[in-house]
Chain A
Amino acid sequence: MTDQDRKPALRLEGIVKTFPGVRALDGVSLSVMPGEVHALMGENGAGKSTLMKVLGGLHQPNEGRIFIGDEPVVMGSPMDAKAKGVVFIHQELSLAEELSVAENIYLGQLPRKSFGRVDWTRLHADSDAILKRLNCGFGSGAIVGELSIANMQMVEIARALTVDAKAVIFDEPTASLTDAEKVVLFEVIADLRKQGVGIVYISHRMEEIFRISDRISVLRDGAYRGTLKTAETDEDEVTRLMIGRSLDLSRNAEHVELGDVALEVRGLSCGKLFHDVSFDLRAGEVLGFYGLVGAGRTEIAETLFGLRTPTAGKILLKGREVTIHSPMDAIAHGLSLVPEDRKSQGLILGMNCRDNITLPQVDDLTAGPFVSDGAEIAIFDQYRDRLDIKTPSWRQLVGNLSGGNQQKIVIGKWLSMRPEVLIVDEPTRGIDVGSKSEIHNLIRELAKSGYAVIVISSEMPEVLRVSDRVAAMYSGKLMRIFTADEVTEDNLVQAISGLSENSRVA
């Protein structure tokens, strides 16, 4: 059977969506065959989420049509979309954690008996049938809040299967899953496609896309850039379509002239979070911190930045011992932290770009008693140009920028403080592949221009790409510091799994 013989399960045709001043979608078309996994890729801000909101009935398109099978449809609301067989599995889970699995699966449509009483027998029977179809290892009576994240996601998927789904849209479904859990998810997806459901799979992760998809459609700047057959393409081609150029994924091989020791940490401990951590950091150097979530990397950064009080140990800046009680102290000593969670810790989303950048130094940017507009705009202009921040004006609210530009605002905020030591925690989390390499290059440049930089990351390619040395953390302990020449993927993985104690090469 060829593509021409079959009717698409879901078809979008010439969708245009404009917001004041922005053409978010410019004539996007997409068709998903029954039983096909169709990957949708694009940088942040390329229009993927807007397209999905149009499909889900949250936005009405200005132009264009949506077809399910042969039938043109109008999606009035998310409930409407679901009733028509288009179901979304979101990255963020939307479950009532206090309720049972069955109640969550049929939330809002519980089966009824007379006098509006819930038909519990039928509810659990129906739910268990769906769970069985998904090969879930838990029953419909379990309380959702007690399940693992992966199992909660299964509940979300189960919820999708209560209707006769024509198309299921997965939006970054693996963001919080372990490798083993991903395997289960992919099995479920394979199962769904066998049943003839069309699947749209949105993800930044290339290896997943190539593992499970049949075709890949790419958006860039709100426009449709083409559809590739997965079997006939490679990562490079997809990347070029997404960002308009090739990507540099090599390891760091530069050897920069190192300056004086900027930061010395001696036997630093903080309760049970981390213990007896010692390292040096020189000007012009990038020290990567790699380890599993919970290994204590972020906690070290927070302690250095005065957000936690150490229980033992010393911190020396430029050879002088310092005590840091608060972020204000840290900033005064020339330490800066680009935090892990950009939206909740790094930015004030309802504030404009300029005010976010100048926030830590607003006390010093005064003319008389007032904040000097001119001085602030000068700083904003300088870092907008240096970091290539894309925003129509400094008045734009930070919440309206793409993830990559938001991250640049946070980095710009701290660079403008001219720190001696810059700590960057998960610099590219949730950022698309194009902006990612931009930020990697930026970190290398910063080191070259004399900053001492700590990069904390959960992504091995990232650590290898930017670091001069890599510190491996396991369960609150600093296992080993590798130089760029020593480090390999194997010995790094060993170190962060706590395996290297015996096989340690001194």
Chain B
Amino acid sequence: MADERTKQVGAFLARQGILVAFVLFMIGFALANHRFVAIDNILGVVRSSAILGVMALGVTFVVISGNLDLSVGSMMSFSTIVVLDLHDKLGPALAIPAMFAMTLALGALIGFLVGYLRLNSLIVTLGMLSAIHGLTLTYSGGKNMDIADKAGTWFGGIGRGSVLGIPGPILIFGLLALVLGVTLAKTPFGRKVYAVGGNGTAAIFSGIPRARVVFMTYLVSSFCVATAGLLQASRSLGSQNTVGQGLELEVLAAVILGGASLLGGSGTVFKTVVGVLILGFIQNGLLLVGLEFYVQYVVTWIIIILAVWLDVAAKRGRILSPIA
């Protein structure tokens, strides 16, 4: 009986190891600094994680289908700069759809290259990271972008306002997570994403249009990036060309922390949200216990390695294994 229970606990730990580690971290930080669990701190962490989180939602689709997207950071800079620029030229009501269309076009290009031409996603999106950065600099002439009349526009309301006390970014992150979570878990499209990532050949042999599914995952990803760019632009009303730089790795870290396999075929939107929050709270906790901001880059890396190692160790049943 007791033996049975130990086994169940073991199985639970293996499945939910990340969540357990997260709770332990939280308790540790809370003991070290009681500010950590203050409501305004928690809300602050969630709000500042929201932009990263929105991007991670899209990348979850790409990773489950068995590919990578390293272009999201640079693409987010692009959409932020574009929407800020167009805001003054076309007005916010036209600027937003125009920016979405341009960002989706970039996603479609990646989707075409990876899906239909079957090029390696690492190479394609790493190249796009650089190419889109160049595009953004060309577009802006290398200058920072600012909205001229910051007081006279409703545009800032999206990123700065709140509904029923819930800040706009959190609301949009939550809504998008819900919609995309249900899409992935419950619709035929979601099922096909898992199938293509689980075994692309078998998916084709089952009559699933692999290329189209991969194409669609990059559209979803670029839609999320456009939303993140909108939130970023609206919150700051002005931006540098490099606002999204380095975010692609943090996004990937959050998705992996959530437990999606880089080999494709597994992961969920809910797990990614958990991954985003873990990353946000750990970075916040490190600041509160008095570590310098720059230390975070190193600590983030260590956390990723730990997460991946725990995941692999749970699957093979021991910590150090002579085989794979």
B148 shortest CB reach to chain A, Å: 43
A353–B37 alpha-carbon span in the complex (Å)? 44
Pick out which of these stretches binds chain A: B55-63, B137-145, B192-200, B282-290. Answer: B192-200
Task: Report whether A20 and B205 are in contact in the complex, using a CB–CB cutoff of 8 Å.
Answer: no
- Chain B residues, CB < 8 A from A348: 194-195, 198-199, 202-203, 265
Residue of B nearest to A369 (CB): B187
| Contact, CB under 8 Å: B266 / A345 | no
> Which residue of A351, A365, A413 has the most chain B CB atoms within 10 A of its CB atom?
A351
Q: What would 17 A/B residue contacts be, using CB atoms closer than 8 Å?
A: A20-B7, A307-B204, A326-B207, A345-B201, A345-B205, A346-B205, A347-B199, A348-B202, A348-B265, A349-B199, A350-B199, A355-B191, A355-B194, A355-B195, A359-B191, A362-B191, A371-B188
The reply to whether the CB of B5 lies closer than 8 angstroms to some CB of chain A is: no
**A432-B145 Cα distance, complex, nearest whole Å:** 69
Taking A307-B204, A348-B265 as known contacts, 19 extra A-B pairs with beta carbons closer than 8 A to each other, sorted by chain A number, are A58-B323, A77-B322, A78-B323, A79-B322, A328-B209, A330-B207, A344-B202, A345-B205, A346-B202, A348-B199, A348-B202, A350-B199, A350-B266, A351-B265, A359-B208, A360-B207, A360-B208, A362-B188, A371-B186
A327 adjacent to B194 (CB under 8 Å): no
B198 touches A351 (CB 8 A): yes
Instruction: Kindly state the separation between the CA atoms of A392 and B186 in the bound complex, as whole angstroms.
Output: 23
A residues within 8 A CB of B207?
Answer: 326-328, 330-331, 360
CA distance A348 to B201 in the complex (A): 9
Indicate the member of B7, B186, B202, B265 with the most A CB atoms within 10 Å. Answer: B202
B11 within 8 A of A: yes
Provide the residues of chain B in CB contact with A339, threshold 8 Å. Answer: 205
Does A337 reach chain B (CB closer than 8 Å)? yes
Cβ-based interface call for A370 (8 A):
yes
Which of chain A's residues have a CB closer than 8 A to the CB of B209?
326, 328
**Shortest beta-carbon distance from B229 to chain A in Å:** 27
Q: How far is the CB of A78 from chain B (nearest CB, A)?
A: 7
Chain B residues, Cβ within 8 Å of A346? 202, 205
Does A49 touch B at the CB level, under 8 Å? no
Interface residues in B231-287 (C-beta closer than 8 Å to A) = 265-266
How far is the CB of B257 from the nearest CB of chain A, in Å? 20
Query: Would A350 and B187 count as touching, CB distance under 8 A?
Result: no
Q: Is B206's CB under 8 angstroms from A363's CB?
A: no
By a CB distance below 8 angstroms, the chain A residues around B266 are 350
CA distance A365 to B187 in the complex (A): 10
Chain A interface SS verdict (over half): mixed
Residues in chain A near residue B203, CB distance under 8 A:
348, 359
**Distance of B188 from chain A, by nearest CB (Å):** 5
What is the CA–CA distance of A20 and B266 in the complex, to the nearest angstrom?
Answer: 22
A348 to B203, CA, bound (A): 8
**B206 surroundings in chain A (CB, below 8 A):** 327, 359-360, 413
* A78 vs B209: C-alpha distance when bound (angstroms): 42
Q: Which residues of chain A come closer than 8 Å to B322, judged between CB atoms? A: 77-79
Q: Is A366 an interface residue (CB 8 A)?
A: yes
Report how far A366 CA is from B202 CA in the complex, Å: 22
Q: Which chain A residue lies CB-closest to B263? A: A350
Q: How far is the CA of A78 from the CA of B323 in the complex (A)?
A: 9
- Output the least CB separation between A79 and chain B (Å): 7
Q: Is the CB of A347 within 8 A of B191?
A: no
Residues of B within 8 A of A326 (CB): 207, 209
Contacts of A355 in B (CB 8 A): 191, 194-195
Interchain CB contact under 8 A, A363 and B198: no
Complex Cα gap A363–B191 (Å): 10
- Fill in one digit per residue for B1-27: 1 if any A CB lies within 8 Å of its CB, else 0: 000000100010000000000000000
From residue B198, how far is it (CB to closest CB) to chain A in Å?
Answer: 4
Cα separation A360 to B192 with both chains bound (whole Å): 10
Q: Chain A contacts of B204 at CB under 8 A? A: 307, 327
Q: How far is the CA of A344 from the CA of B182 in the complex (A)?
A: 29
Task: Point out the residue from B182, B198, B208 that lies within 8 Å of A350, measured CB to CB.
Answer: B198
A493 to chain B, nearest CB (A): 31
Q: Are the CB atoms of B191 and A371 closer together than 8 Å?
A: yes
* A43 CB → nearest B CB, Å: 24
Known: A20-B7, A58-B323. A345 touches B202 (CB 8 A): yes
Contacts of A350 in B (CB 8 A): 198-199, 265-266
Task: Evaluate whether A370 and B265 lie within 8 angstroms (CB atoms) in the complex, with A345-B201, A346-B205, A351-B194 already known.
Answer: no
Q: What 10 A-B pairs come out closest when comparing CB atoms? A: A348-B198, A370-B186, A327-B207, A331-B207, A348-B199, A362-B188, A359-B206, A360-B206, A360-B207, A328-B207
Task: Output the residue of A58, A349, A371 with the most chain B CB within 10 A.
Answer: A371
Known contacts A348-B195, A348-B265, A351-B195, A363 near B205 by CB under 8 Å: no
In whole angstroms, what is the CA distance A444 to B207 when docked? 26
| Assembled-state Cα–Cα distance A370/B182 (Å) | 9
Digitize A348-383: 1 where CB-to-B-CB distance is under 8 Å, 0 elsewhere. 111100010001101101100111000000000000
Give the chain A neighbours of B186 by CB distance below 8 A: 369-371
Contacting residues, chain B, for A359 (C-beta < 8 A): 191, 195, 203, 206, 208
Q: Which of A20, A78, A305, A344 contacts B201 (CB 8 A)?
A: A344
Of residues A79, A307, A359, A369, which shows the largest number of chain B Cβ atoms within 10 Å of its Cβ?
A359
Question: Of residues 98 to 126 in A, which have CB atoms within 8 Å of B's CB atoms?
Answer: none
Tell me the bound Cα distance from A208 to B186 in angstroms: 50
How distant is the Cα of A466 from the Cα of B141 in the complex, in angstroms?
Answer: 73
CB distance from B220 to the nearest CB of A (A): 15
Which of chain A's residues has its CB closest to B10's CB? A20
Residue in chain B with minimal CB distance to A361: B207
Question: B195: which A residues are within 8 A, CB to CB?
Answer: 348, 351, 355, 359
Q: How far is the CA of A20 from the CA of B188 in the complex (A)?
A: 32
Bound together, the chains give a CA A289 to CA B212 distance in angstroms of 34
Taking a contact as CB atoms under 8 Å apart, the answer to whether A362 and B202 are in contact is: no
Chain B residues with CB below 8 A from A366, complex form: 187-188
